[in-house]
Amino acid sequence: MPQSSDAQYPPLPLIQTWVWMMTESNNPEIQQKGQSNLISSFGSLAKANEYLIAQQHR
């Protein structure tokens, strides 16, 4: 069961997909959609990055 602090965020595999879209895709529209989804979910790319780093240290 997810911790309450994780409940506000999408599932980790979805977040990782958005990061892939933003960093690995050669299609600018896909890159923009990945970035947009991350910002919509976290408020900023920096917060998304902090969350992913925290998940790696669990």
Tell me if 32 is assigned to some domain: yes
10 three-class SS: coil
| pLDDT at residue number 2 | 47
Domain enclosing residue 25, as ranges: 11-56
Tell me if 44 is assigned to some domain: yes
Tell me if 5 is assigned to some domain: no
What's the structural domain count of the chain? 1
Tell me if 24 is assigned to some domain: yes
> What is the 3-state composition of the chain as percent helix, strand, coil, each rounded to the nearest 5?
75, 0, 25
Calpha distance 2→58 (Å, rounded) = 12
Tell me if 3 is assigned to some domain: no
The whole-number mean pLDDT for each consecutive block of 10 residues of the chain, a chain of 58 residues, reads 62 97 97 98 96 92
Tell me if 4 is assigned to some domain: no
Calpha distance 47→34 (Å, rounded) = 15
| pLDDT at residue number 7 | 57
Tell me if 33 is assigned to some domain: yes
Residue ranges of alpha helices (H) inside 1-44 are: 12-24, 28-42
